[in-house]
Amino acid sequence: MEAIQSELIGKIYEAAIFKDRWPEVVAAIGRYCDLWGGALTWEVGGERRWMVTPNLLEVLGEFVAEGWAAKNTRLERTNRAGQFSFVREADLFTAEERRTMPIYRDFFTPRGLGCATSTLIAGPENTGMSLIFEQTLIKGNIGDEAIRILNSLRPHIARSLVLATELDQQKADLLTTGLSAIGAPAAIVQDNGCVLSANPLFTTALRRVSIRARDRIFLHDESANRLLHDALASIASDQIKSIPLPATEEEQACIVHVIPLCGNALDFSPRGTAIVLIAQPAAAQANDLRILKGLYDLTRSEARIAIEIQSGMALPEIARRLGISYETARSVAKAIYAKTGSSGQSDLVRRLSVVARYTLSSSPQDPPNG
């Protein structure tokens, strides 16, 4: 028995370094205590992430899809009671509560679940971690011996989880510090806007960006801020979003790039979603439509019309010059405004002033479509 516990403790500390091993560690602890399955959650900035044993994957998918993750009254109560040891929900919820509470009545009980134990571990930087072990209704309430074993392992689990969180933070800081070395103001951000790490160049750009309540990133330009949070919420591994920030009385115009963290880059910040980087292009170069198309995901026709607007042309004149109808030019202009967060032609000129540092030209033979 002691040999098995010693082996479990070794695996617990290995998972601090190799975070993807946590589901197997939780499963091994569950098998040792004769429990059905388990889950580990991290909460940072109001965002909860789950790691579960294989037999709980389908249940978790249904739990999230049906909206229970956002109203998890069961976990909220067990977390309040389980800050120093594992607690059984049978000791916190009466039989009547488990019969009538929606989360039990409509979700756990129909799946043969509803006997669990959990504990809350407070980590650094307002990080909360919960460890939950599920038992089937057929086997009944979790016994005292299982709770005793879990509580004997809890200090090791707590130290390992805190160490894992601190290592994640150090990796994220290493990435943003590296970007600082090349003069790039940058932050690692979650999809809900929570900033996990920011280098000094980023934090000194406070006239353009703030880190507000619950560590959320906020661009002072309202339209740009909306585009930023939309990009973070819907970011894909192959999608890079560039958002123009117009010049102010104190600051030059610049571009905010939202770059997804994927593949090996996730090694630097497994909990991060994207790198938010502020760029101020300074090198002039001859180029064509590709600059606007590449920066702001404009189509060829959108980029050409954006260039003409930037040069000071009115839409009717642009339509005549490109051989398209005024309604087509107006429709394309609306799409440009939406992609760049602009309210109209003059605002677009302000926002694209940073791109004017490049020499932009559209070749007369380019077709207006594309």
Per residue in 199-253, pLDDT (tens digit) is: 888 877 767 788 876 688 998 888 889 989 988 888 865 677 888 887 776 777 7
* Percent of the chain residues topping a pLDDT of 70: 84
What are all long-range contacts of 344-347, with beta carbons under 8 Å and residues at least 24 apart? 345/309, 345/314, 345/315, 347/223, 347/246
Same domain, 121 and 267: no
Last residue of a domain, one of 279, 304, 329: 279
Provide the 8-state DSSP code for 364. T
Does 157 map to a domain?
A: yes
Closest CA to 87 of 99, 100, 74, 96: 74
CA torsion sign, 16 to 187 to 235 to 67? positive
Does 76 map to a domain?
A: yes
Global pTM value: 0.61
Confidence band of 332 (pLDDT split at 50, 70, 90):
very high
CA torsion sign, 175 to 179 to 180 to 184? negative
Same domain, 153 and 187: no
Q: Specify the 3-state DSSP secondary structure of 36.
A: coil
Same domain, 71 and 56: yes
Same domain, 148 and 8: yes
Same domain, 64 and 123: yes
Token pair in block for residue 236? 């894909």
Domain that holds residue 12: 2-164
Same domain, 92 and 209: no
CATH number at residue 126: 3.30.450.80
Mean pLDDT, residues 29-43 taken together? 91
266 pLDDT higher than 80: no
Count the residues in the chain: 370
Does 171 map to a domain?
A: no
